[in-house]
Amino acid sequence: MQIDDIDSPSVLIDLDVMERNLRRWQAHCDAAGIVNRPHIKTHKIPELAGLQLSLGAKGITCQKLGEAEVMADAGIDDILITFNLLGAAKLARAVALARRIRLSVVCDNDVVADGLSAAFAAAGLRLDVLVELDTGAGRNGMQTPAETVAFIERLSNRPGIRFAGLMTYPPKGDAPRARAFLAETVALLRAKGLDPAVVSSGGTPDMWQASRDGGITEYRVGTYIYNDRLTMAAGAAKLEDCALTVLATVVSRPTEGRAILDCGSKSLAADPLGPGLGHGHIREYPDAVIVKLNEEHATVDVSACAAKPAVGERVRIIPNHACVVSNLHDLVYGLRGAEVEKQFPIAARGLTR
């Protein structure tokens, strides 16, 4: 099967580029002396998680139990879930998962800690729990090093769970702030004899600066496998590092300056890049701007293009955000040049729980 045999819209992966991305990041982690624990949310494909592990990753990161269950079913046995787990249904699933793989989770409050403790103590297990810090991203997490230490002191006395370390998703472009928060927390914990075994940071924008500074022992990054316009905007990748494209067809040219593609927000996702920057980079028409997405239509301003696309022409688009594209499709086509080497079902697509 060749690329010309694929109908649009479809998601294509350039396997050469993808493999280069994986190797380059693993080499960075190895040189920096940090553990690579890639986040599978970008691809949601067990076989690609297996490739990441075979190249040197120690384990993987999932955001939801459902994703972790799919990955465990495929034989992956070291998974960190970076999300607070709450409620009887999820706790029962977490216990079942911990019986078959090395599971660790995060936590940032007593309600979640109490639930984990009760469920795992009742099962006769001890679960590794990392405490989440809000080092500036403004999402989940402890607000100060002092608050963190007090929480960990309470956590350490609970049955069924074991304090395993610290975890943060740092603010984009402000890694020094995150490192200072981590370093201060680590120092306070050590003074109390509560040395964190793992200090896990992450995030694509500052990935190439990742090091052991701040006491960091491992790093989680997802988008690096494919890269996208957001990764490029952060300076973490170049155009030639983008492995994922959406194949689309020009279906209408209603005016001289307007083209309509058959890939709307159902194919490209609507995550914005910034005002005026549009919804994707059309490789064949770099001066075109995807000004609007409906669910099935992309409206493209082609007025700045010297040559303009014709109805029926096919193009390849680098999306703003690759991870959300993976969640919309049931499979991707893995290309070696123009040849389809393999089709990968996106087995962990749409697992919201």
| Residue selected from 14, 108, 206, 241 as contacting a second copy according to rule CB under 8 A | 108
Cα gap 245→239, rounded to integer Å: 11
Could you say whether residue 79 binds a second copy (CB under 8 A)? no
Four-residue CA torsion sign, 318, 348, 98, 76: negative
Q: Got the DSSP string for 177-213?
A: HHHHHHHHHHHHHHHTT---SEEEEE-STTGGG--SG
Q: How far is CA 88 from CA 16, 66, 94, 247, 279, in A?
A: 44, 15, 10, 42, 40
Smallest separation (angstroms) from a second copy to the CB of 48:
18
86 binds a second copy (CB under 8 A): yes
Among 26, 101, 109, 188, binds a second copy (CB under 8 A): 109
- Of 314, 316, 261, 310, the residue nearest 290 (C-alpha): 261
Decide: is 158 part of the binding site for a second copy (CB under 8 A): no
In terms of DSSP bridges, do strands 280-282 and 314-319 run parallel, antiparallel, or are they unpaired? Answer: antiparallel
Q: Is 54 in the site for a second copy (CB under 8 A)?
A: no
Q: Which of 160, 157, 328, 333 is nearest to 244 (CA)?
A: 333
Q: Which is nearer to a second copy, 29 or 222 (CB)?
A: 222
Applying CB under 8 A, the span of 17-25, 97-105, 122-130, 325-333 interacting with a second copy comes to: 325-333
Site string for a second copy, 263-302 (x = CB under 8 A): x-xxx-xxx--------------------x-xxxx-x---
Q: How far is the CB of 353 from a second copy (least distance, A)?
A: 5
- Other beta carbons within 10 Å of 321: 21
Tell me: does residue 68 bind a second copy (CB under 8 A). Answer: no
In angstroms, the CA 350 to CA 153 distance is 37
Given candidates 90, 158, 279, 308, which one binds a second copy under the rule CB under 8 A? 90
251 binds a second copy (CB under 8 A): yes
* Identity of the amino acid at 27: A
Q: Are 349 and 332 in contact (CB under 8 A)?
A: no
Which of 324, 322, 329, 319 lies closest to 298, judged by CA? 319
Select the residue interacting with a second copy from 8, 117, 204, 245 (CB under 8 A). 8
The reply on whether position 111 binds a second copy by CB under 8 A is yes
Q: Determine, following the binding rule CB under 8 A, whether residue 330 of this chain makes contact with a second copy.
A: yes
- Please choose, from the candidates 220, 222, 216, 179, the residue with its C-alpha nearest in 3D space to the C-alpha of residue 197: 216
Burial profile 132-162: b = 16 or more Cβ within 10 angstroms, e = fewer: bbbbbbeebbbeebeebbebbeebeebebbe
User: Applying CB under 8 A, does 63 fall inside the site for a second copy?
Assistant: yes
Q: Residue 269 CB, nearest distance to a second copy (Å)?
A: 8
Does 206 interact with a second copy (rule: CB under 8 A)? no
- Rule CB under 8 A: choose which of 3, 324, 344, 345 binds a second copy: 324
Kindly list the residues in this chain that would bind a second copy in the complex (CB under 8 A). 7-10, 41, 63-64, 83-84, 86-87, 89-90, 108-109, 111-112, 134, 138-143, 249, 251-255, 258, 260, 262-263, 265-267, 269-271, 292, 294-297, 299, 310-312, 323-324, 327-330, 350, 352-353
